[in-house]
Structure 1
Amino acid sequence: MSAPAAPHPAPAEPGSGPAPASHLEDRHRSNRRLYNDDIAPRDDSAGNWGTGNLFNWWMSAWHSLGGYAFAVGLFALGLNGWQVLLGMSVGMVLSLGASNLMGVAGQKIGVPFAVFARISFGVFGANIPALIRAIVAVAWYGIQTYLAAMAVKILVIRVWSGAADLDNNDFIGLSSLQWICLLALWALQLMVLQRGMEAVKKFSDFAGPTIWIAMLALALWILAKADWHLDWNANFGAEAPGFWHGSWLILGAGFSTVAFMAGPILNFADFTRLGHSPGSVKRGNALGLLANGIAFALVSVVIGIASAEVYGEPVTDPVALIAELDSIALVLVAAIAVSAAQVGVNVILNFVSASFDFAHLWPKRISFKIGGAITAVLSIVIMPWKMYSTPAIVNTFLGGVGALIGPLFGIIMADFYIRRRQHVHIAQLYTDDPKGIYHYRGGVNWRNIAAFALAGGITMIIALADVFSDFAPFSWPIGAALGAGFSFLFQDRRQPVD
């Protein structure tokens, strides 16, 4: 099945959604520098993602090894249980606002994120945000696949002890068993994506709820081992902070929660462009991101506190707890749930984004499926197990590049909602005519490029320089605000908005 797209994009009046496909001028449809079927505007018949689908999408986004590890990792700041839960809840509310902005915009315009970025950066300049998002997605896709494979390896040995014999050799840093687990998950994810976005939707609908089986079973099991005792005021990391410092840390935890989902929020239009209506997007976000996200945070914190009661400190790896389950049947169920959830989160948060972004870089030669194949191959070529084993690489490279997401979000949202007041000529997004609205100079809006470079440079310093470590959790909102501000400051007021 092909990726989501109408076979022919359509022109639109300012502020309108995609018009009937038959109305598109041939010169736009034949422009293979800017168009292929996979990045075309949504046909009205393709808007089949409802509230329930987006609810499950958010469940897949949060229900993962990374989501649990992130929540429990906040204890290391010196926060206690209720402070971690409060900080994450604040972050969920902030994320809801950001997701509604990008999600509703994507549903109204009906184009993938990379094409949406043409409004602010130009029909060719949009390749810059597309490439940055693709780099982050490929790196995290590789790392997440590797981590999921290592989790599966532990569970395989737990179920079948003889598999340990395959874990005693080494080839390019991985044992035979590790390679088997890695390539099995790698192939499963590629298979899902190659069947198109309808398969992604169905898999998300399955994977999102599945992890609740493992998480709830794990919570009940570890609570029983802790004699049902939870100390919500205990501090397991650094020394307990005072009131003001604690408040700062809670706020930082909130914005760290936003940053944790900053990449998927940025390219949320890749999914919401298939939404039924703006209302369905908002309802899906409210139920899946806010209500379900807070519930998942609550269960994660409970497991973290209970595991500290049993083992002396919060266990950040849920697989280590699953491997301790007494019942082989429960281990098998948990293994299936965790594997499905991890594949789901990786596909929707990283794989789809990178596939669209690569297709956008060279529409004439790269389709959505080819972009997926490129993503899959690169995720192995970068040897994510070596990246992950070197924290300096992860923190410096991914932390630095990730700090650029905030400025991109600020520029694109401010341009769409404030400057253009949601008025967009969709057909003009697919033309390289120098007189086109989004052609700017040579197809690039150099003013917004300058705004992005300046705001991004500041946020990278904040995110990476030790002297600004106290402000690092706030790099996303700082970047978004600076990006929007510099964009307005640098804009050419002689340039017509429509």
Structure 2
Amino acid sequence: MKAVEVDRDELSRGDADGRLFNEDLAPARPDDRTWNGYSLFSLWMNDAHNASNYTFAAALFIGTGALMGMTPLAIVVGVLVATLIIFAACCVSGLMGYETGAPYPVISRVTWGVWGANFPAVVRGLVAIAWYGIQTYLASISLELLLMRMVPAFQSWDYPILGLRVSGWVAFLALSAIQLLIVWRGMDAVRHFQGLAGPVIWVIMIGLGVWMLWQADWQFDWMVNADGVTPSAGHQVYQVLVTVGLTVGTLATLMLNFSDFARYAPSARSMVLGNVLGLPLNWTAFAMTSVLCSAAAIKVYGEAFHDPGDLLARIDNNVVFYVVSLGFIVATIGVNIVANFVSAAFDLSNVNPKRVSFRVGGIVAVVASIVVTPWNLYGSPTAITYFLGSLGALLGPFFGILVLDYFYYKRARIDLRDLYSPAPDGRYYYHKGVNLNAAFALIPAAIVALAIALLPFELCRALAPFSWFIAAPLGALCYWVVMRMRGEEAAPVPGARAQQTQG
């Protein structure tokens, strides 16, 4: 499979008013394609090794309800199966970015129309901004603890402003500034940061696991849960399935916009290699390390901790505390940039390319993430459920509709000139810039996805962990039905990939 190359000047001339084109949204040049297999592997290392994923794995081990007391083995199996699915989905969405060189908001124009693509891009951008703020807040907890340990006087800065202590504000704003600085320097700076941070974080996490096991006299059992019992085989199978659903749902955002990074890959092989190393291997190993630390904490402190910040607060060895705290901070910066910051910047730029560059989009994302006071958002189950839950529910249908349209109906034969052209006779102008077929297909799929995410019925709660597996195929099915009803046919199968066109 070969990447398409196109003259940027030609694309710019086709959009003289700058309504669809700027240099940040333009297809990647050959010399931009520097994200090799190791770079993408590092991307996944940074995305996996952070406080929220530690909390996720620990919660499965300690959890209540349907996930009460999962064994370490069941967690590892569940995460492994989930990451194999995510690996396949990211290779599919990444192939769109690799072959066209375009970011996700531009690729969406293929299916949604040159103006209609703003809807999925804005939804994805809002999710990214909210989670960017939440992840920054979670990392700021570690930084705040670190500052308090280093400078005890910092502990007196405890009076609240808008629900957050002054000391927390200092840590939160400092991390926001650091992340903005990295992204301000461009995607190459992001690549270098990921490449350096990924292995360092792994060394720290392995060191923490070994240290915790040493403290626990190397006592660890794969087959018992946090309560010291082994659940029945049937219950463990159900727990594994729920773990698969929750893990896939957690990464639904990156599965949708992985093309933002794959567009910089020098070859399809490097993209696949980075994904296989970073997802099934790396994510599963990190989940195992997180559970190991939680199990050891029961032996050492008499209780397990959902939040790594609580575990850090108990560590009385200053060297271990400082090293692990810095590791979590760097890791969360890494995942935030990958999963949230880059996407939000591209999505916001797509709304108004003439006035909003990638850098300006990044500034808007930072300001918006402060305005929403993410510590209050994170602390409100209602806000998480109804705001982020409703937006996140749409990511499945977006993915299913896009993949079916791109690979089946368009046969991956994309006209890059028309992707950046506001001309009414363009291939992706559809009806006044909007593909009504995609809009009609989204409505029933979105209704079902939102019902599963929001309605307080027992059936909806039972299906909630599997919402992506329901919503994504349903979106594709609805699109297929609409296309059949409107008499739309798939493009002829090309004789060779070389027939892919640029215009």
Verify same fold: TM over 0.5. Answer: yes
| 1:22–1:72 Cα change, 3 Å | closer
Task: State the partner residue of 1:107.
Answer: 98
Letter in 2 for 1:493: G
Q: Is the 8 A contact 1:151 1:319 kept in 2?
A: yes
| Aligned equivalent of 1:484 | 476
Q: CA deviation at 1:290?
A: 1.6
- Cα distance in 2 between the residues matched to 1:124 and 1:495: 23
Structure 2: how far apart are the matches of 1:495 and 1:427? 23
1:69 pairs with 33, 48, 55, which one? 55
Q: Name the CA distance, whole Å, in 2 between partners of 1:216 and 1:369.
A: 35
1:18 matches 2:4:
yes
TM-score, structure 1 as length reference: 0.93
Q: Provide, for residues 348-383 of structure 1, a one-character-per-residue CA deviation record: whole Å limited to 9, x for no partner.
A: 110000000000001111110000000000000011
Partner residue, 1:33 = 19
CA gap 1:233/1:107 in 2 versus in 1, 3 angstroms: same
Query: 1-side partners of 2:385 and 2:71: how far apart?
Result: 25
Change in Cα spacing, 1:444 to 1:233, as seen in structure 2 (3 Å) is same
2:33 corresponds to = 47
1:241 is displaced (CA, Å) by 5.2
Name the structure 1 match of 2:197. 207
The CA deviation string for residues 238-270 of structure 1, in whole angstroms up to 9 with x for no partner, is 997543343122112112111111101211111
What is the Cα deviation at residue 313 of structure 1? 3.8
Deviates more, 1:203-212 or 1:305-314: 305-314
AA at the equivalent of 1:42: A
Q: Does the CA-based 8 Å contact 1:117-1:126 persist in structure 2?
A: yes
What CA deviation, in whole Å up to 9, does each residue of 1:383-432 have, x standing for no partner?
11111121211122112211111111111111112222211111110111
Is 2:157 the partner of 1:166? yes
Paired residues for 1:8-407 under 5 Å: 17-21=3-7, 24=10, 27-75=13-61, 76=63, 77-78=67-68, 79-167=70-158, 169-236=159-226, 242-407=232-397
1:398–1:158 CA distance, 2 compared to 1 (3 A): same
Q: Residue by residue, what CA displacement relative to the aligned partner does 1:207-249 show, whole Å, maximum 9, x if unpaired?
A: 2222223312221222122211113232337997543343122
CA distance in 2, matches of 1:405, 1:418: 20
Q: Deviations over 1:338-357 (max 9, x none)?
A: 21111111111100000000
Amino acid at match of 2:479: S
Q: Which residue of 2 aligns with 1:7?
A: none
Write the distance in 1 (CA, Å) between the matches of 2:139 and 2:382.
21
Counterpart in 1 of 2:466?
474
Amino acid at match of 2:139: A
Residue in 1 that maps onto 2:441: 451
Q: Residue by residue, what CA displacement relative to the aligned partner does 1:99-122 show, whole Å, maximum 9, x if unpaired?
A: 111112211111000000001100
Residue 321 of structure 1, CA deviation: 2.1
TM-score, normalised with respect to structure 2: 0.92
Distance in 2, Cα, partners of 1:378 & 1:330: 35
Does structure 2 retain, via aligned residues, the 8 Å contact 1:18–1:43? no
Is the alpha carbon distance of 1:44 and 1:208 closer, same or farther for their aligned partners in structure 2, counting shifts above 3 Å?
same
C-alpha separation between the residues in 1 aligned to 2:245 and 2:162?
A: 38
- Aligned position for 2:487: 493
* Cα distance in 1 between the residues matched to 2:290 and 2:59: 10
For 1:109 and 1:20, the matched residues in 2 are separated by: 9
CA distance in 1, matches of 2:133, 2:443: 27
Measured at CA, do residues 497 and 28 of structure 1 come closer, stay the same or move farther in structure 2, by a change above 3 Å?
Answer: farther
Partners of 1:36 and 1:131 lie apart in 2 by 18
SS of 1:323's partner is: helix
RMSD of aligned alpha carbons: 1.9
Residue identity opposite 2:137 in structure 1: Y
Change beyond 3 A, Cα 1:154–1:26:
closer
Aligned residues: 483
Q: Deviations over 1:436-494 (max 9, x none)?
A: 11111010011111212221220121122232211111100111100110111112434
| Higher deviation after alignment, 116-125 or 158-167 | 158-167
Partners of 1:34 and 1:478 lie apart in 2 by: 33
Q: Which shifted more, 219-228 or 308-317?
A: 308-317
Percent identity over paired residues:
37
Q: 1:253 to 1:409 in 2, by over 3 A?
A: same
1:31, CA displacement in angstroms?
Answer: 4.1
Q: Are residues 497 and 32 of structure 1, via their aligned partners in 2, closer, same or farther at CA, if it must alter by over 3 Å?
A: farther
The offset of 1:150, in angstroms, is 1.5
- Give, in whole Å, the separation in 2 of the partners of 1:328 and 1:245: 41
- SS of 2:24's partner is helix
**What CA distance in whole angstroms lies between the structure 2 residues aligned with 1:239 and 1:409?**
40
Q: Which runs of 5+ in 1 are unaligned?
A: 1-14
Per the alignment, do residues 22 and 236 of structure 1 end up closer, same or farther by CA in structure 2, a change over 3 Å counting? closer
Task: Flag structure 2 segments of 5+ consecutive residues without an equivalent.
Answer: 493-503
What letter is aligned with 1:331? F
Give, in whole Å, the separation in 1 of the partners of 2:356 and 2:229.
53
The CA deviation at 1:16 is: 6.8
CA–CA separation in structure 1 for the residues paired with 2:417 and 2:283:
37
Query: Greater CA deviation, 323-332 or 292-301?
Result: 323-332
* Contact 2:298 2:304 (C-alpha < 8 Å) held by counterparts: yes
